[in-house]
Amino acid sequence: MPVTYDLDGQKRVYATWAKFYDRIYQHMLARPQREAVEAACACGPDILEIGVGTGLTLPYFTPDSRVLGADLSLDMLKVAHRKVESQKLDHVRGLMVMDACRLGFGNERFDAVTAQFVITLVPNPEQALAEMDRVLKPGGEIIISSRLVDDGGLLAPFWSAVAPLSKAIGWSSDFKVSRLTDWAKATGRYETVHVGRGYFKVVRLRKQASADNAQSKA
């Protein structure tokens, strides 16, 4: 059964989730989220977090980072704004409503782009990746954490079968790691530098440095 995407429907789902999202996911997602944030901070100070949601990850960034967060859900962002104010997260420079497939930033703006538990839910993941690529500086990384499935395996048919139900509750069960690594390879500009293990995985895709940068370092 094919899975269809409804952005307005997703907004309604996350308007409901915003009320109790942190209570359910704060501890469950902490390990991969912290790992992704640490990798992003190692790339440089200017970081874009796509799908920032209620801002669960925002306290994990280093004080010297400059973080912008984008999300489709205004209700989620309202929770994130309260978190930034109450915890005095001065490294968060802005939170905005934005579609991952149509980012409102100039080219090569960020040292790292993170997408935590969102890539499996956007209507066109490859278009979202292309937008991340556009706003990422050469030498930077796209860092994705999510529920990602290894190719093959005994449970692969099961995860595919329950995919429609998972999407209905704002989750994903059958998005394969290879969809990310194949995209990276196809661009000719990215190297897959890390693929995590376990139920929730972190995948790091490093953008090739520009020729000018490579020559200056030689």
* Ordered domains of the chain (ranges, CATH): 7-209 (3.40.50.150)
The number of CA neighbours under 13 Å toward the Cβ of 143 is: 24
Do residues 195 and 144 make contact, with C-beta atoms less than 8 angstroms apart? Answer: no
Do residues 110 and 136 make contact, with C-beta atoms less than 8 angstroms apart? Answer: yes
Q: How confident is the model at residue 143 (pLDDT cuts 50, 70, 90)?
A: very high
The overall average pLDDT reported for the chain is 85
Q: How confident is the model at residue 217 (pLDDT cuts 50, 70, 90)?
A: very low
Inter-axis angle of helices 74-86 and 7-17, nearest 10: 40
Q: Which residue has the higher pLDDT, 217 or 16?
A: 16
pLDDT, position 215: 40
pLDDT, position 123: 84
Q: How confident is the model at residue 140 (pLDDT cuts 50, 70, 90)?
A: very high
Report the chain's terminal Cα–Cα distance, integer Å. Answer: 52
Mean local confidence (pLDDT), 90-111: 97
Rounded to an integer, what distance in angstroms lies between the CA atom of residue 184 and that of residue 153? 23
Residues of the chain with pLDDT > 70: what percent? Answer: 77
Q: How confident is the model at residue 37 (pLDDT cuts 50, 70, 90)?
A: very high
Does residue 151 have a pLDDT over 60?
Answer: yes
Sign of CA dihedral 4, 18, 90, 43: negative
Q: Which residue has the higher pLDDT, 82 or 150?
A: 82
